[in-house]
Amino acid sequence: MTAVPSAGYVFDNWSGHTQGITNVAQNPVVFLVGDRTDNNRVMTANFIPSDLRFTVAANSDPPGGGSVVFQPVQPLEGYPVNQSVSVLASAEAGYVFSRWTGDLAGSENPRTISVDDSKAIAAIFNPTVNIYCSPSEGGSVELDPQFSNGYTAGTEVTMTAKPAKGYRFSSWEGDASGSDRSMTLNVDEPKTITARFVEESPSRWWVWVVIGLVGLFGALIVLRLVYARMNREAPE
């Protein structure tokens, strides 16, 4: 059985039917219900007011990745002992919240903590990679690895441009450059990249066919004229 003090109070001791409990100041406490002949117990958890106050130090990693918000707001002198506090990680543009470290663990956001001691927590934020294609119908970009919740800072990501039918890849713009369809990117901060595609010129083979036919037709006309002239000039 666990005694849970409210803000500004601390547990003092158990009283009542405490048979079998060697330390009435222990919390939580374990006991056997059958220690009494009638199998019933009535116990009281006694709390006493406390002037103890504790602070919660919160950091963001990286510092520009976001912030941590407390509700209620932390007083200058700290929270009363056992104050229940909601802790919310708020990401800046280009980042997403990843997890808690320090005196708080997990990825649930927001979290509620009981300030039973001084605490130090940190919110980890991951940079994101935003990819755009210009024009949008020109193709797509494949990322490997592909994470929707951002990347651990320093992750190496391979980008591959995939042109749509009738387009070809031209170049990378923004936080990447070059004309290679595939390249590796170090995600050490938020990245915004545009893959530029250009429309391929339609095939002009029929133009050359027409030119060839016109040339052939013209040559035949010339030959015919020459042949006719030769026939006129020939002696009878």
> In this prediction, what percent of the chain has a pLDDT beyond 90?
72
pLDDT band at 191; cut points 50, 70, 90: very high
Average pLDDT, stretch 139-161? 91
pTM above 0.75, yes or no: no
Residue 230, pLDDT above cutoff 90: no
CB 113 within 8 A of CB 51: no
CB 59 within 8 A of CB 125: no
Nearest partner of 189 among 153, 225, 145, judged by Cα: 153
84 against 31, higher pLDDT: 84
On average, the pLDDT of the chain sits at 89
CA distance 13 to 173: 68
CA distance 74 to 57: 10
Residue 37, pLDDT above cutoff 60: no
The secondary structure element, H or E, covering residue 225 is helix 205-233
| Residue 222: how many other CB atoms lie within 10 Å | 10
Average pLDDT, stretch 158-167? 94
CB 100 within 8 A of CB 66: no
pLDDT of 111-122, one tens digit each? 999 999 999 999
